[in-house]
A = this chain, B = another copy of it.
């Protein structure tokens, strides 16, 4: 009886879990989702493929858990009292190195999410939706303070504007997005479009 109460499933320490997720994201940035294999994850983390499958079930699940682990929504901590202040705090949330890595990650996933409905769904539920919900709160506060009109049509496109800045930065400017770039884009595009 005492033995039955002990979980037979192998446990993984939080440190080891973080290390595994880090390796998954590293591989994702390097080769993209399709070329990322469980074999490569096992080799880089010196673990067995059997352990990976027992713990996460599938590559899609492992990748999404790794993404969520690395990027918990932290927008809710931002509340500076002005929309411009909030947006600039948002731009400072990740340092330049983290932004460049995030940008590489998005590229690695862009094709894959469209070929894998399960990955797309997990990606939206775990990453896009929470960010959008936090952003909506931030914008609602600005509407309540009278900084933006509630019927401004640009309110529906805030995420489009921001995602665009990141996507176009590499291709058009051949540079990774930086805090300075995002801050400049917010002042030049996002706030004027919102009439703030």
Binding site for B on A (CB under 8 A): 32, 34-35, 104, 107-108, 110-111, 113-114, 120, 124, 128, 132, 152-154, 156-157, 159-172, 174, 184-185, 187-190, 192-193, 195
Contact = CB atoms under 8 A, between A and B. Distances in A.
Contacts of A35: 34
A172 B185 contact: no
Contacts of A104: 114
A184 B153 contact: yes
9 contacts: A34-B35, A128-B171, A157-B185, A160-B165, A161-B189, A163-B164, A163-B168, A164-B164, A192-B192
Q: Is the interface of A mostly helix, strand, loop or mixed?
A: helix
Nearest to A103: B114
Contacts of A114: 104, 107, 170
A154 B189 contact: yes
Given A111-B110, A193-B188, A195-B192, A165 B157 contact: yes
Contacts of A153: 184, 187-188
